[in-house]
A and B are shown apart, each in its own frame.
Chain A
C-alpha cells in the first residue's frame, strides 16, 4: 500500500531521518515529502515519532542521520525563518501582550516593523481575536490561546506551515475557523503539514496523508487514492435485520460496523456482489445497496494492522 515517497514531488523532503534516544529509535530512516499547495495530514499512533519529525524540520532535535531538504537543498536557519511552526506543547510568553508578541515573532522571522504590525492586525482579525490584541496571553481562554498560537505560526506568511495537533481541544467553531485557514494557506501555494488524531477532520481537510509508526513510514498518498484503493466497502440496509447474520455466512465478507440498521461490509477481491445481494434479499427487503469509499479511519487501522 505504501507508495514510493519519491513519487510525490514536494518542496519539503525528509530523507532517511534517524533519531535514537538510547535504546529507543524514535525515527527509523523516515522519508517522505510534502508537496506545495496541499494540506497534508501527518498521522500515527501515540509515540509513532510525529512530534520528533516535526521538531527535526526546525532543527529542534539533533538527528543521528538523514537530511531535511527544502527545494532540494538542506534546510538551514535562513530557510527556517520562512517556516511557521505550531508546537504540540503550546508556547507563548504568558505575561506578554498578544499583539506585541505577534509583532515580535514576525520581526524574528524577518518582517520589517510596519509589515509585522500590519500582519499582526490581519491575522488577529482573520482568526477572530482582534479584540484581544492588548490582553496578556495567560488571560485568554484555551481556544483563543490556540488561535493566537496559530497566528504566531502564520504572522510572517510562511512558505511551510508545520502544525502539531492544531485542532486538539477546540470547539466546532474553532475547528472550522482553523481548518479554513489551513486550506486557504495551501491554496495560496504554501506547504501545510499537520498532525491530528481526529481522522474524520483530517479526511475533510487534507488532500494527502502520511502515516508513520515506530518512526517508520507506513503509508503516504493522496486521500482519494487511498480511499479508492483496498477492499471494496458495501453499505446495505435490510428491513427487519438487526445483526447482519446473513452477511456473516458469506465467505470473504467481513462486517465492519452496524449503524442503525445499515451494515458496512468489507469485501474480498473474490466476492461476487450479486451473491451478496441475493443473500440479503433472502433475509428481507433490501432498501439500500451502496458502494462507498474507504474511510481514512479504515485506511489508518488497516495500515497499522
Chain B
C-alpha cells in the first residue's frame, strides 16, 4: 500500500518535471509564440495567453503546485496508513478466567473495533512487568479485577481506555449473571439479547469521512483563492511599478487588459485546481481511502463551482487594489483588509465543518458573496443545502460580481496610471461614482 502511494506521488512529480522541462526548451526556441492559446484571438486573448505562459514558467507556480499536491497526498494517505496500524490489543490474564468470560472479553474488543489477544501470565509479578513494559494493555486478575499501568482519565477516548471500560463493564455483567445463579447458556443468551430498534426524527449528520472531505476542500479553496488573488494583486502592481502599463495601455483599453489578466490567471488557477482534484481522486482510489466517498462527489462539484465564483468575485477586488499600489509594502497594507472577509468566511466555515452544526449566522454567510465560497460548500458537504438554496446563493454571487467588476474596472482605469504615491480609495471611488 505504502509502495503504491510513493509510486503514485513519484509519477506525478516526474510528469510535472518533464512537462516543465519541455516548456523550458520551447520557450528558448523561436516558435514560442505558437505554443499557447493561439486560438484565443483579440487583445484579451493575447493578454491571457501571456499570463498563462508566464505563470507556468514561474518557479512560484511550480513549487506551489508541488506543495499543494504533497499536502493533498498527505491528507489522503496518512489516515489510511494510520488505519493500517491497528494492532491486536494484548490483554494479560492472571489466575483463572472461565471460557464464557474469555469469550465475553474477546467479543467486547470487537464491539469497540479492536482485536483482543489474551495472554496467559505465569504470576502477578511477571504480569506487572509485562504491563509496565507495555507488552500487555491491561491485566485481568482472577476474572474479578482489572489492572492498568496508568490510571485512566474519564475523558480519555483512546482505544485502550475504551477497551478497559468495556471489559470492566462486560466482566461486571458476567459476574452478576453468575452471582444470580444463571447457567452459562442463560448468561450467553442474555449477553446476545437483541437490542430494541431506534428511530430518529432527523437524518444523521454527515459521516466523518464526508465531514473530513468538507474540511480538506475548505482548506484547499482558502489556499487557492488566497494564492490566485495574490497573483492578481501582485501582477497588476508589477505592471504599474515597472511602468510597462503605459506601453500596454497605448495599445489596449484598460478594461480589456484587466479582463485578459483575470482570464489568464483564472485559466492557470483552474488548471491547477483540476490537477489537484484529479490527483486526489486517483490517489484516493489507489490507496483505498474513504475520504472521497459518500456525499463527496456532490461536495466536490460544489467546491469547484464555488472556487470559480469566489475567484470571479475576488479577482476584480484584488485587481482594483493592485492598481492603487506600486510597491510591495503598499500591496501588503492593501491585502490585509481585503483578506478579512476571506478569513471570516474560512474560519467560521471551518468551525461548522468540524462541528457539523451550522448556526443562523452561518446560514447568512452562505448567501453573502464574499463568504459564500467558503460557507456554501460546507453546507453542501453537510447535506444541509437544497438545490434552490445553492442556486440562489450562486445567482446572488454572480450579480454582485458584475457590479463589483464594473466598479473595480473604473478604479483600475483611474488608479493604474497614477504614480508617485499610493492612490487613495476615496479619491478613485468618488471619481468613478461621480
- Interface residues in chain A, defined as those with a beta carbon under 8 Å from any beta carbon in chain B: 55, 58-61, 77, 80-81, 83, 85, 87, 89-97, 99-100, 103-105, 107-109, 113, 116-117, 134, 152-153
Contacts and interface: CB of A to CB of B under 8 A. Distances in A.
Contact of B417 (A61, A104, A105, A134): A61
13 contacts: A58-B249, A87-B246, A89-B246, A89-B419, A92-B244, A94-B242, A99-B30, A99-B32, A104-B46, A105-B247, A107-B46, A108-B248, A117-B33
A69 to B, nearest CB: 17
A134 B54 contact: no
Contact of A77 (B50, B238, B253): B253
Contacts of B54: 93, 95-96
Nearest to B31: A117
A100 B54 CA distance: 11
Contact of A91 (B246, B251, B253): B246
* Chain B, interface SS category: helix
A113 B31 CA distance: 10
B252 interface: yes
Given A97-B27, A134-B28, A90 B243 contact: yes
A85 B245 CA distance: 12
Most buried by A among B27, B47, B250, B419: B250
B247 A113 contact: no
Given A94-B242, A100-B27, 4 more contacts: A93-B54, A105-B248, A108-B46, A152-B247
A85 B243 contact: no
Given A60-B417, A94-B242, A113-B38, A107 B247 contact: no
Contacts of B30: 99, 117
A85 B33 contact: no
Contacts of A153: 247
Given A60-B417, A100-B27, A87 B46 contact: no
Interface in B343-395: none
Contacts, number: 74
Contacts of B87: none
Contacts of B243: 87, 89-91
Nearest to B252: A108
A80 B242 contact: no
A246 B47 CA distance: 70
A85 B246 contact: yes
A81 B252 CA distance: 8
Interface of B: 27-28, 30, 32-34, 38, 43, 46-47, 50, 54, 238-239, 242-253, 417, 419
A79 to B, nearest CB: 11
Nearest to A134: B28
B245 to A, nearest CB: 7
B33 A113 contact: yes
B34 A113 contact: yes
Contacts of A58: 246, 249-250
Nearest to A85: B250
A91 B252 contact: no
B61 to A, nearest CB: 13
Nearest to A164: B246
- Going nearest first, the 7 A-B pairs with the smallest beta carbon separation are A91-B243, A91-B244, A87-B246, A85-B250, A58-B250, A108-B251, A89-B243
Most buried by B among A90, A93, A99, A109: A93
A106 to B, nearest CB: 9
Contact of A80 (B46, B244, B251): B251
A116 B246 contact: no
Contacts of A87: 243, 246-247
A282 B417 CA distance: 64
Nearest to B239: A93
Contacts of B419: 89
B247 A60 contact: no
A164 B156 CA distance: 76
Contact of B245 (A59, A91, A105, A152): A91
A83 B251 CA distance: 8
A3 to B, nearest CB: 29
